Every structure is written in structure tokens, then in C-alpha cells.
Amino acid sequence: MKTPRLTLVGAGPGDPDLISVKGVKALAAADVVLYDALAHPELLKHVPEQAIKIFVGKKKGVCQFKQEDINALIVENAQKHGHVVRLKGGDPFIFGRGHEEILYARFFGIETEIIPGISSSYSVPELHGIPLTRRGLNESFWVVTGTTREHELSSDIPIAAKSSATVVVLMGMTKLKEITEIFLKEGKAELPVAIIQNGSLPEEKVAIGKINTIVSIVEEKQLSSPAVIVIGEVVSLHASFWSEVKEHKK
Ligand SMILES: C[S@@+](CC[C@H](N)C(=O)[O-])C[C@H]1O[C@@H](n2cnc3c(N)ncnc32)[C@H](O)[C@@H]1O
């Protein structure tokens, strides 16, 4: 009888090489893997052939598994088979509900381990040469959700818009217009914005502009989710910012 245990592993932003060595070792020692849509399927090559692999992500944008079902699957599989690896996109503790899964498993006396991942929030901009902080330009960055539990835009965005912080919005694509209107109210029509969809993957798409142009650029280039929205002066450090701005002048 194997000891029931859970290892929560961050898969990184998309590129399967951006997982940690420790994450790969955990996958190689798994009896069961529960994985999300944002965890690259190629990562399953690290999992032993005989291990059970269960997809618990969204299909065509629809959640087939509720969080309660996933929690129950973790416990059930750990008790039945031993080592469950829960593989989640980016970092499991950044808008990932990883903490809820850890607490649930602990409640059932299951041993847990946490292996952080590289979050899309900072790595996707970084892969495009956009630093979230830059001496002289800003003093902080905010990572905010575009979609709260009530499906609303976070009330933190209007507060962040008043500051000089870089504002990174995850899960915000359906509310992009609303987000730009908040910054327009603050007189920030000229503030640079970058949007990167499927960052670090071959199907990646990028839109670069300003608060007053980004909505039409996104429509023109047909960007959608999953995407990271980066708002702030640091976006002007992107290699093609000035040429893009010239092309889409308002
Ligand atoms: C539920 S959140 C999970 C975030 C994840 N835990 C992380 O740390 O990256 C999902 C959102 O993350 C962002 N995201 C995740 N992977 C991405 C990628 N490769 N490119 C762009 N955005 C990504 C999108 O905003 C997406 O809607």
C-alpha cells in the first residue's frame, strides 16, 4: 500500500521547457497526474507509462470539472494509487486555486508538497523584453484579475490605474474595453499597452499600442484568451513599440 501524497507542480507559462527540474522529477515519480488545459501536454512525456493521466481543464472554454470535483479526484486517487501530481499552468498559487487543493488534501491527512512554477504574469512580458519594473520608470507592479468570482472586473484596477505601477491583468480579454476606459478616466490615453496571447508557444500573438489604440489593434489582429495584458511605461521598452505606435497613430 503506497502512502497517499499530493505534489502540486507549476508547469510554467506554456513552453514545456519552462518547468523546473524538481517539477520534472515529481512527474517522473507520479502514479496519477491531474492536468489543466494551460499545462503543455508534452509534459506528460515525463510521466511513467503506467501512470493514470486525467485531464481536468476547460474544453472549448467550458469547465467540465468543478473545483469540488477536482478536490475529490485528488483525494480519491491519492488514497487509491499513492502519489498524485497536480500539474497547473504557470504558478499554482497565482490565480491558480492551488492553495485550496493543498488545504483540501491536508484535511484528509494527505501529505503535500508544493513545487512553484514560472507565472505567465511576469514571464510572458519578460520573454518579449518587457521588464515589469525598471529603475526610473516605476516602483511596483500589480497582477490583477480581470474576472473575479462574481465575473466582474477587479475593483483594484481603478486603484492601480491611479498609480505609476505596471499593471498586469490576467483573464481580462473580454473586459479589455472596460479596462481601457478606466485608464482613459485617469487621463492616461497615451500609456503604452502590450497584449500577448499564448505567450512562449508557437501560436503566440502580440498586440502593442496605447490605451487609446489597443482595442482596435486587438480587433484587427484578432487576439483573444489566454492573454496577458501589460499596461505601463515599461511597455515602451519593447523592441517594436515605437514602430507599432507610428503604424497605428490615432
Ligand atoms: C487561471 S489564470 C492562471 C494563471 C497561472 N497560474 C500563472 O501563474 O500564469 C489563467 C490566465 O493566465 C494567463 N496566461 C496563462 N498562460 C498564459 C500564456 N501562455 N500566455 C498568455 N497568458 C497566459 C491568461 O490571462 C489566462 O487567462
pTM of the predicted model, to two decimals?
0.95
Is the pLDDT assigned to residue 192 strictly greater than 80? yes
Question: Quick one: DSSP state of residue 11?
Answer: -
The mean pLDDT value for 205-228 works out to 97
Q: Checking DSSP bridges between strand 83-88 and strand 5-10, what pairing results, if any?
A: parallel
pLDDT of 140: 96
Is the pLDDT assigned to residue 63 strictly greater than 80? no
What CA–CA distance (Å, rounded) separates 161 from 167? 8
- Is 58 known to be catalytic? yes
The mean pLDDT value for 42-57 works out to 97
> What secondary structure does DSSP assign to 78-134, as a single string?
HHHHSEEEEEESB-TTSSS-HHHHHHHHHHTT-EEEEE----HHHHHHHHTT--S--
pLDDT band, residue 187 (cuts 50/70/90): very high
Is the pLDDT assigned to residue 249 strictly greater than 80? no
- Among candidate residues 2, 25, 58, 185, the one labeled active-site is 58
The mean pLDDT value for 83-100 works out to 97
Is the backbone of residue 12 left (phi > 0), alpha (psi -120 to 50) or beta? left
- Is 210 known to be catalytic? no
> What secondary structure does DSSP assign to 161-224, as a single string?
HTSSSEEEEES-GGGHHHHHHHHHHTT-TT-EEEEEESTTSTT-EEEEEETTTHHHHHHHHT--
pLDDT of 250: 65
Ligand 1 mean position to 6 CA, how many Å? Answer: 23
Of 127, 80, 72, nearest to 100 by C-alpha is 72
pLDDT of 61: 65
Is the pLDDT assigned to residue 13 strictly greater than 80? yes
The mean pLDDT value for 182-207 works out to 98
Ligand 1 mean position to 95 CA, how many Å? Answer: 8
What CA–CA distance (Å, rounded) separates 192 from 143? 17
- Among candidate residues 15, 31, 36, 91, the one labeled active-site is 36
The mean pLDDT value for 198-226 works out to 97
Give the H or E element holding residue 26.
helix 21-28
Q: Which atom of ligand 1 has the smallest separation from the CA of 96?
A: 6
The mean of the pLDDT values for the chain is: 95
Q: Which atom of ligand 1 has the smallest separation from the CA of 118?
A: 8
Is the pLDDT assigned to residue 62 strictly greater than 80? no
Neighbours of 163 (CB within 10 A): 14
